[in-house]
Structure 1
Amino acid sequence: MMKKRDYRPKIHFSPEEGWMNDPNGMVYVDGVYHFFYQKYPYDTSWGPMHWGHATSRDLIHWEHQPIALYPDELGFIFSGSAVYDTQNSSEYGTNENPPIIAIYTSHHKDGLEQQSIAYSNDKGRHFEKSYLNPVIKNPGISDFRDPKAFWNPVRRCWSLVLAAQDRVFFYASQDMKNWEKTGEFGPEGNHVKGVWECPDLFPIEYKGKNVWVLVVSMTKASEDDHCKMQYFLGDFDGEKFLCTYPSDEPRWLDEGFDNYAAVTFQNAKDVLLMGWGMNWQYAAQTPTEGYCGQATLARKLSLTEVDGALTLAAAPAGLEKFRHSSYPIENHTTIRTETFGLKVSGKGDAKICLKNSVGQKLKIYVTDTKITVDRTMAGYKEFSEHFMTEKYSISTAARKKDGAWNLELVFDVSILELFAEDGVDAISTVVYPETPYDRISWKGDLSVELYEIDA
């Protein structure tokens, strides 16, 4: 019988109550990060979707705000995005007080999906829906959703990318109200089958040039049926994405089970990406009290070369002041906090283990060829027939670099985010230890530093 305890993470955002899934409408305005998200406030399972809202100045401490968008006659408020319309191109604000424009999917109970907009003139506290909705009507297909708007530097206008079954569509607009379709990408260039969801398109500067990154979440993304996020690298010609850096294999953004629907903050100085730290296969059964779901940490994205191939790299954002206070620890060290980071460097095979007083263990293995996170014995798991299977217990990432290696692990009560080899691989996984992990041990030639995170 599970011992009940509070599994709510301290630095990973979670709703005060009710259900949450996909991040939505993430935008940075006047020093504040606005985080909207799919929310059902009346139960801890999925229901008619609203947009929840939270704000932060440091990506670690979040303040809950009133619900931003409620369902209406066009349907539930499904996923979408928001932009800070600094030039007031929409004319929903003024030049002195630019509006935030949200664009989202209206999902009718009969399945019809169309795109709608809403605007805020008080920095995201209240939104008014446009009388023009829907601003992008359905072209006669299912799975037509999740618009992610961005500034188009080629046409000097707004563009958006949205999911359309096994591909993405691109649209452009001068005013966020009137949209024209400009192109498509996929399924050519994609190596796995599945419905595409929650796309995002953004540039990252690399060696003086902008490389465009297209991220797509996939409900059944791989041969093992896991929900995963794939990314493509290339160019944006103002009309559509071009995959000019093709790969013979899928590029996965995270090899864990618990990072999905991740998108970036519009208008932020850095490329910052946050996802839903959960998995559709067992999200509604997790043993959390009064709420369900959490976000991942924000990740600062960059590009690097590995064996001559461009690769995304990620680092946890907002933890810099804690990381600077890291200190070396010995094997079998006692841990006195449930929220901490570990910086590990080593060579050769290694095993790292987080343990608690009832014998539960979260294990991380490193070999010459792969990095593995094993939650088989990590804690309570009988709440879900999926969660307790081997298929959903062991995450593996193939190593992209040879020789010596480094890991950064951020653990927060019930969720682990692992960044391997300067962030070119990531593994996110939730666990439910029945008592807190209080010891760390390892085998192998390792140097380990700990930093405590005071939330």
Structure 2
Amino acid sequence: MILKSKRPLFHLTPKENWMNDPNGFSYFKGEYHLFYQYYPYNPYWGDMHWGHAKSKDLMSWEHLPIALRPDMEFDQDGCFSGSAVEDDGKLHIFYTAIRYSKSSISQSGNKIPADEKSLISTQAYAFTEDGIHFKKKKEPIIACPKEVGDEAYFRDPKVWKKDQYWYMVVGSKSLDKEQGNILVYKSSNLVDWQYLSSITKGDIGRMWECPDLFELEGKDIFLFSPIDGGEDEQKNIACYYTGSFNYEKGDFKFEDFDMLDYGFEYYAPQSMLDSKNRRILVGWLVMEEPLDANENWTGMMTLPRVLSLRNGRLQFDVVDEIKSYRRESLQKKDVVVNKQYELNFQHENTFEMNLEVEIKDNFELQLFSDEKKGLKLSYNSKNRQVVINREDVMNDSKAMVFGKERKSPQLLVNNNLKLRIFADKSVVEVFINDGQYVMSAIVNPREEQKKIIVKGNSPLKNIEIWRLEKIF
């Protein structure tokens, strides 16, 4: 028997139907706003709208009316991804307006482009004064510069302010080759935009979606989601470069590269700077369809992650607000594991766990387990990698199409491995060694898969676990 409800409590999901990319992540009039790509008529991709939710603490979200609909001639086939900034008491929205040159009908009956080259893309603008009602500008604000870009691959504007000017990066691809790039724009008033430059690095992906560029602790960070930038089952990935951005010329000096998440499904993240000066990142965990026939929703967001730098690389942590939802807890120290140890704790697959392991041998942690089968988190002392395997918690769901196993980069653990784990009914996020790396996975556990089991002979220096609860 499958769990009665697989909808997460703390990962934002659509009230019903389809969700993808986070959009317009912002702080406006004392509340966090998170928009998202949304199809309101069935749980499959179709003509994109902007769904909308708000929160005071990034954990409890209130669904609001649809913010943007494809109701203008220039966006009649979709309001694609974009961003939002607050200025002068208004929330300013920038999004990609879509028309199809050719269309077809999907297996679910939704209108879709005939192919990816059938998109006619421009950048468009809307605003709100109250966070509920939105007014669009009656024509696009930026057309694709034909000398450097392709209008079929021109989307996802991200806007921010530096000194007295506003800047925008838009995802794109090169005209003459299968190579991703971004186009950079500059404005003094959020209305009139001047093309500044094109930035590319030709060794990853054939188009760069969902770009984001910001300063963090003296470094410039460039996030992007390159199409066909990955390997194996997941071709589309989310990653970043550290470097330095020249605001006069629009040049980016690329330095270190890394993935934003080493698990499954993670894509199209977007960041914002909140009133506490935290750089917070939210990503989309891809689902192709509902987990099973009993569910009427598709897609979810990650928990909001605070970004910092450590040794020149991004470090990740879940926002502190989640601690307000901790309930019963259990703590144990210096636990000896003799082949197998079961953690006796009632949690209903919604919990936070901190685990510190003294590595003496190979180590395995099973979550969502029935004693024999579960989500396996293991550490191989020879390869020094954390491995996540979800084969035994997929349970025939077709929502998860990106494989069964992922591996972290090699770790320098000095015989000490630290894991911070958030389980939320049908999803798990694993933060390795104080957030050096993150591995996320959507899962589909059965009703009896609720146990937490440790296998191997490595002692547990510390275990802390809290049941997480949200009262509606």
TM-score tier by shorter-chain length is 0.7 to 0.9
- Range moving further from structure 2, 238-247 or 159-168: 238-247
Q: CA deviation at 1:184?
A: 2.1
Q: CA deviation at 1:162?
A: 1.0
Contact 2:290/2:297, CA 8 A, preserved across alignment: no
- After superposition, residues 50-449 of structure 1 pair within 5 angstroms as 50-72=49-71, 73-75=73-75, 76-85=78-87, 88=88, 98-110=89-101, 111-122=119-130, 124-131=131-138, 133-140=139-146, 141=150, 142-153=152-163, 156-165=164-173, 166-188=180-202, 191-205=203-217, 210-224=218-232, 226=234, 227-239=236-248, 242-244=251-253, 246-247=255-256, 250-268=257-275, 269-279=277-287, 283-284=288-289, 286-287=291-292, 289-305=295-311, 310-317=312-319, 318-322=321-325, 327-329=330-332, 331-337=341-347, 338-348=349-359, 349-357=362-370, 359-368=372-381, 369-383=384-398, 387=401, 392-403=403-414, 404-435=416-447, 437-443=449-455, 444-446=458-460, 447-449=462-464
For residues 406 and 179 of structure 1, do their structure 2 counterparts lie closer, same or farther at Cα, with a shift above 3 Å needed? same
> What 5-or-longer segments of structure 2 have no aligned partner?
102-118, 174-179, 336-340
- 1:145-199 Cα shifts (integer Å, max 9, x gaps): 000001123xx211111101201111011111110111222124xx423321111
Residues of 1 paired with 2:249 and 2:350: CA distance? 42
- TM-score (norm. length: structure 2): 0.84
Contact 2:205/2:227, CA 8 A, preserved across alignment: no
Equivalent residue letter for 2:240: Y
Contact 1:83/1:266, CA 8 A, preserved across alignment: no
Q: Which of the residues 423, 441, 450 maps onto 2:465?
A: 450
- After superposition, residues 23-38 of structure 1 pair within 5 angstroms as 23-38=22-37
For residues 285 and 220 of structure 1, do their structure 2 counterparts lie closer, same or farther at Cα, with a shift above 3 Å needed? farther
- Structure 1 vs Structure 2: percent identity of aligned residues? 31
Contact 2:369/2:452, CA 8 A, preserved across alignment: no
Contact 1:46/1:284, CA 8 A, preserved across alignment: no
Contact 1:170/1:239, CA 8 A, preserved across alignment: no
SS at match of 2:289: helix
**What is the CA RMSD across the aligned residues, in angstroms?**
2.1
Residues of 2 paired with 1:267 and 1:36: CA distance? 16
Count of residue correspondences: 420
For residues 239 and 360 of structure 1, do their structure 2 counterparts lie closer, same or farther at Cα, with a shift above 3 Å needed? farther
- Range moving further from structure 2, 256-265 or 238-247: 238-247
Equivalent residue letter for 1:234: G
For residues 274 and 163 of structure 1, do their structure 2 counterparts lie closer, same or farther at Cα, with a shift above 3 Å needed? same
SS at match of 2:11: coil
Is 1:40 the counterpart of 2:39 in the alignment? yes
Q: CA deviation at 1:355?
A: 3.8
Q: CA deviation at 1:26?
A: 0.8
Residues of 1 paired with 2:366 and 2:261: CA distance? 21
Residues of 1 paired with 2:307 and 2:327: CA distance? 20
- 1:31-82 Cα shifts (integer Å, max 9, x gaps): 2000000000000000100000000011110000000000021121000000
Residues of 1 paired with 2:328 and 2:344: CA distance? 18
SS at match of 1:344: strand
